Structure formats: C-alpha cells, structure tokens
Chain A
C-alpha cells in the first residue's frame, strides 16, 4: 500500500487518519510499556548491591534511562519540528507539543535522581560538572519551548515559532556540550571525576537496558495519549467556535 516513508508520512498528515491509527496503537503501546517496566523493576529489585555503593546503585536504573530519554525526547521534538516545517505536516506540530513536557519531566528526573545519587557518592548535591551543567541547560531549553507554546495565542503562529525554536535549540545543544566540556576540563582536573566505574557487569547491564526500553515505551505511550488529547482539544475548540458563529446569526 505504501511505497515510501514519505507516502506513509503524507497519509498520516491528516489528523483524522492519525487518530484512527493512534486509537489502534494506544492500548498495545501502554500495555507493552507497563509490562516492560514491571519486568525491569523486578530485575532491579533482584540486583545485588554494589561492593562500593551498596544499595544506592539502584538509583542508576532510574537515573540513566531518564538521562537517555531527556536527549531522546529532544531529538523526537527536533524531527517532529523539521517534518512539520518542511513538509507542512500538522501532526508534527502536535507531536512536538505533546512530547515537550514529557521530555522536560524526564530531564528533571535525571537531574533530581542524579542529585540524590551524588549526595552519598560525591558528598554533594550538585557539582558544576560538564555533564550536569549541559543537562541543566537542556532543561532550560525545554522550559523555553514549552513557555513559547503557552505564550503565543494563535495556534498556527505558536506551532511554527516553536518549531523554529526547537531547530535552533538542537543546534545549540551540541555547542553547549562542547563549550561546557572545555570549561570544565579547564577548571577542574580529575578532582571530581565520576567515581571509577568498572565496565558495567551483566548483572547491572541487563536490568538497565530493560529499564531503558521501558522508559522509551513509556515515552511513546504518554506522547501518543497527549497527541490524541491535543487533537481532540483542537476539534472541540473548532466545534465551539462554529457553534458560536451559528448562534450569532
């Protein structure tokens, strides 16, 4: 039926068709996400304590996947915005808007769990380490994106302006990473280097990967739900306006 990715994408540019697809995908994606997360949590519960870190090592299984998701969600927003701007794909705007708060929360979780983990391990809640700093900046970029969506009243204008911002931000993220690395290595030689970690043992690696998969599925499930809500909200508003218009006559 579909010859290329472009055809598929063009087919689902119609929100009506997208809603039909989303309706079918919704339950399976949620079910899969919850199952994988449950399996992951079970595996994490059975992970042996680390010989250096004790039980606090379990923070890793939330922290690391959340940090992955913070970047993954931003890449998702970037591709949605490019699709929306270049191919005039209305669902792209909806996807970007739906994913942003989820990505921001994952970023916040990564920051908070990192802080909780840092306290027992490094003896401090926060270090101006290059990685921490660039994740914090990423969080501010998310906030800016969300704030711009909220601030501009006209939907079409908000959609295009935020898409431009997402693309500018995605150029900015690697530059921030590069500059902060340079800044940090200049100021603090190995004094606060991350604790010497042996290559991850399989006991830790597999639960981590399962949790990562679970977080990814959770992201898609949440995004899908939010996209459906967004499209329904737009329809409700359109119907409301139409009713108002008829009432005037």
Chain B
C-alpha cells in the first residue's frame, strides 16, 4: 500500500512540476474560447450547446494528456524498475491512473464551471454536468491508460493514442453529454439512470482496464 501511494504521489508531483497540469488546463480554456468564434457569439445558442461542448473539450484535453501517462517512465527506464517491484503491474496501472486523475482530471473538472461561464451555461445545469463527469472519470482515465500503454513503444505516440482511445470514449461521451444536455430540459434535475450507467461503466473499467493496460505494459517491456 505504501508503494502504491508513493507511486501515485510521484505521478502527481511529476505532472504538476513539469507544468503538464497547467498546460492541459490552458488547452481546455483555449478550446472553449475558440467555440464562440466558430459558432457565433449568440448567448442563447452557446448556452444550449454548453454542456455538450464542455464534455467534448474535456475529452480532448484528457486525450492530449494521455501520452504522459507512462511515456516518460518508459523512456528513462523507470518503468522497467517498477516492473521489479513486489507489486503486480495491474496495481501500478491503478496507482498511475489515480495519480493522473488527481493531477489532471480534477483540475480540469474544477475548470469546467469557469469555462462554462464563458459559454453562458445555466448555473442550474452545473451540478448535473459535474456529477456525470465525475462518474465517468474512472472509465475515462483507465480506458486512456489502455491506449497509452498500447502505444508505449511508439515514438511521438500522441496521435496514435488518440486514435486508439477515441472509440473507447464514445459510450462514456454518449451517456455523459446526453444526460447533461437533458439536465437543461429538466431544469437542472439529475438524470439518475444515465448516471447509473456511467458509474457502471466506471466500475467495469476499474476491474477490466488494469488487466488490459498491464498486459500491454508487459508487452512493451519485453
């Protein structure tokens, strides 16, 4: 457990100190700023689209962050050392994912209401939006870990990771974005069935994704 937590802590510190967190959050704001230029500054339209746009932008920010998940550790040989730990590779994946979640997903999640202001989002929708994002977070992080692990031995793998992970993210996006958009129609009420399905996906990812990601890491380390 001690190793697990220190791995997680190390991942957080690295993300934070290398400025990766700041960069990803900045990307989220840049992407949101671009939206009104593309769609027009009409506030009513932006307000209607805001939950869906925020979901898509969140996914894109996460996709961009994935190549940092294992890449640095792989390139400088740390990952090979981690493979010698008395800790199964699956738990290493979980520790890294947890670190990734805290260091990158949580700051993104905190930025969402602020970015929402730029899109004139209705305040009543925010709790539902944040809740669905939080419920989908484990699935998003862990599915991303699979893609990051698979593309590990490829140089400049960012684009490849996006291609591998995008199909895995679609179900989460469907339930997350749709239920957030519905929250507008239901004046901010939370869409519990969709939230339940998201939580279910996260639970399934929690059990299955570390297996796949760990298998992929072992392949890359051979």
Q: Which residues of A contact B (CB under 8 A)?
A: 137, 140-141, 143-144, 147-148, 151-154, 156-157, 160-161, 164-165, 167-169, 171-172, 175-176, 178-180, 182-183, 186-187
Question: B166 in the interface, Cβ–Cβ < 8 Å?
Answer: yes
Q: List 13 A-B contacts (CB under 8 A).
A: A144-B166, A147-B163, A148-B154, A151-B151, A151-B154, A151-B160, A157-B219, A161-B153, A168-B168, A168-B212, A179-B171, A179-B174, A179-B175
Please name all residues of chain B whose beta carbon is closer than 8 Å to the beta carbon of A140 when the two chains form the complex.
Answer: 163, 166-167
Question: B24 in the interface, Cβ–Cβ < 8 Å?
Answer: no
User: Among A154, A156, A172, which residue has its beta carbon within 8 angstroms of that of B168?
Assistant: A172
Please name all residues of chain B whose beta carbon is closer than 8 Å to the beta carbon of A187 when the two chains form the complex.
Answer: 178
User: Among B160, B170, B208, B216, which residue has its beta carbon within 8 angstroms of that of A176?
Assistant: B170
User: Among A141, A164, A172, A182, which residue has its beta carbon within 8 angstroms of that of B219?
Assistant: A164
Please name all residues of chain A whose beta carbon is closer than 8 Å to the beta carbon of B201 when the two chains form the complex.
Answer: 175
- Interface pair B150/A164, CB less than 8 Å apart: yes
The A-B contact count (CB < 8 A) is 74
Please name all residues of chain B whose beta carbon is closer than 8 Å to the beta carbon of A179 when the two chains form the complex.
Answer: 170-171, 174-175
For the complex, give the distance between the alpha carbons of A187 and B168 in Å. Answer: 22
For the complex, give the distance between the alpha carbons of A183 and B175 in Å. Answer: 8
Question: B111 in the interface, Cβ–Cβ < 8 Å?
Answer: no
Would A161 and B220 be within 8 Å (CB), given that A140-B163, A168-B212 are in contact?
A: yes
Please name all residues of chain B whose beta carbon is closer than 8 Å to the beta carbon of A161 when the two chains form the complex.
Answer: 150, 153, 216, 219-220
For the complex, give the distance between the alpha carbons of A179 and B215 in Å. Answer: 27
Query: Scoring B residues 201 to 222 as 1 if CB is less than 8 Å from chain A, else 0, what string do you get?
Result: 1000000100010011001101
Q: Which residues of B contact A (CB under 8 A)?
A: 146, 150-151, 153-154, 157, 160, 163-164, 166-168, 170-171, 174-175, 178, 182, 201, 208, 212, 215-216, 219-220, 222
Q: In whole Å, how far is B146's beta carbon from the nearest beta carbon of chain A?
A: 6
Question: Which B residue's beta carbon lies closest to that of A182?
Answer: B174
- Interface pair B164/A137, CB less than 8 Å apart: no
For the complex, give the distance between the alpha carbons of A81 and B85 in Å. Answer: 29
Please name all residues of chain B whose beta carbon is closer than 8 Å to the beta carbon of A152 when the two chains form the complex.
Answer: 153-154
- Interface pair B178/A186, CB less than 8 Å apart: yes
